[in-house]
Structure 1
């Protein structure tokens, strides 16, 4: 695989993994097609190593990220324009930290890694286009291909598991992605690719990054916990934590209860903590005593927070009952599964259990 193919395929896969969070480029009419991955990059230990950050730099950066992530993660549910505004502001905070606390070499390499993560879409950035002499007509062709890919991926994202249209939409998305990759290889001249390669520095594969999401939000204190004294995410460091939101009158939540019971029984000895957050949907679920009674009747013996004011729901940017979040030993979200774990043949429980096994093996 040549350097261009690595660039295109790596960026393309990250588009699928992280979703299209687009950068705002005031000088480019195509800024909304350029994926914005800086926040994900600076969370990854592989990036810290690539930048040769010192232990003190990593500690200081993580202190910043605790503040950044409190806004970044819940912002994922905002309308696109609002989400972009939040991300732009948070990215500016991260760059300000690098300007203050990092070396010129570290800053330059981070810029190169950001380009690698953006894949072939980097050609739609005004700064890169100027440096490698991408013409307006070339960018217009690139933008048409990029929009077709985004539209097909969005249509696929808006489906639910088991939807009979998924296969056709997957085929359409794959076709659009191939067309974009092949089209860009034809549109950009060899000498432009050569210049871009020199700007990017040593090759870097962003698809190998293991940690690209936010730190888990700290629990907002509540009056009532069941089966446990009040917990905090900070106190749970060193454990893999499965946080799930539910409402006891929610039928879809009932379908997950047996899995939660199994996890609590089988995984605790391995260093896993299952935490339920009961956030009310109905008036009955706003009665703490009713929540306690329902937990006892359903044999839910894991720690449960009664989130009557929905403050934790808001802090996590949660949108549905049920939803499970997988948090690693360092307090970072690594995976989440909205909805029933086994809906229409889905195997969300197995997906999460495989992820847990990997996280338990990490340092």
Structure 2
């Protein structure tokens, strides 16, 4: 799978509120460091090589963001080292130059976010109350609100709605006391930023409305990586629908958890179904990865063959339902992936989780155990 560094940066920013430290052995950490060093040497040899840049970023930034939960100081050091390392390279190709500049800005944003993890919202508000015209503090405050609410909306949308109302009111009062044009502009920017959370809140409300509704009949144009399933076969089973795409980084990051669930509960009444569509991807044998096909149309049969190899690569044992019309996605209000829908033995929706992270994984596992009566 080829991920542009811009897509990776967006992915890392989205992951920030939910990632958790993956406890690794010291030997594994040393191996990762050695790998990152080698990848940097390859990038240093040709700073215009986008694949080398992608590989280096994946090997350095993602571990740093995971580390930031339990060791923010260590994560900050790692991010600053990456920023310094990239600043010492001199790409010449216009696209590479633009990408390096964008990555530098992204690293600044990530560094600020890790720094803000160590400061409470109340402490920031106290600082801002004492210096209401401080443009830098206004920016940090709005970023901190976004960080906390982004997580809170997914965990408890009703609490998040109250928090959002309170923060909106606070910024309004702050705007009324603003004296300089710079402060007024910064507050307006903060208000605009926080308002972007409203659609997320509305989506979460919509997902909450799904709980208790009956599952829709299966809708698939094709089945891959297993025999076709019927609604009758699923009666009395706990069903986990995993809406994913082969190009989705967080979806791929969720696969180890899906494998664990299948191994632990697959013979106890759990059925996992991956739900995806056609994206005009073929399979690159040399890279052992799916690859977008430009110009030509990939046939349904060819894309199904690609999905089968994709399942083999990630050792996924559950079946895929290919729903190119998105009928199931519409019913289950899919707006972001991975999107997990858990259905109980009575065929009713028991839980919906969007995105990959430890909190979602734990919640799904706990609910599956509860439904199956497992200790």
Q: Sort the TM-score into its range (normalised by shorter chain).
A: 0.3 to 0.5
- TM-score for both structures, normalised by structure 2: 0.39
- TM-score for both structures, normalised by structure 1: 0.40
The structure with higher relative contact order (CA 8 Å, sep 6+) is 1
